[in-house]
Amino acid sequence: MARKVTAWVGWIWFAGLIMLSSGVFNLLSGIYAVGARDIGIVEVGTQILLLDVNSWGWIHIAIGVLLIVVGICLLAGQGWARIGAVVVVGLNMMTQFLYLPLTPWWSIVVIALDMVVLWALVVHGEEAEQAS
């Protein structure tokens, strides 16, 4: 028996668009970090933590490219893209969590958006596959 596709399938398109925009922002911030060659200084209690921003830049570039490619494939209705999107968005959440000491507000916003994207992909992903 075929299931009826509901308006909830729009959440998958929302997820794809958020992935595209997040990928572009990751790409741009990664390019800046690679070009800046700065050292991030974070105070943790009474200790100081030095972070190599250049390495984080390359990580953000790689994840940004993955987010863009998988986001485009998700919007195109590729069946594999839903699973790929869950993996890539999960990776993005982990990198943002690790980047939290340097950019706390931005990381919190991205983590929250990634949680919404994961919810959309997991709960309403089958409908998107049926619609395409």
Q: Is residue 18 within 8 Å of residue 123, measured between CB atoms?
A: no
Give the C-alpha separation, 89 to 71, whole Å: 10
Reported as a single tens digit per residue, the pLDDT across 106-120 is 999 999 999 999 998
> pLDDT for 26-43, tens place per residue?
999 889 888 876 666 666
Per-residue pLDDT at 44: 67
Q: To the nearest whole percent, how much of the chain has pLDDT over 70?
A: 79
What pTM does this model have?
A: 0.82
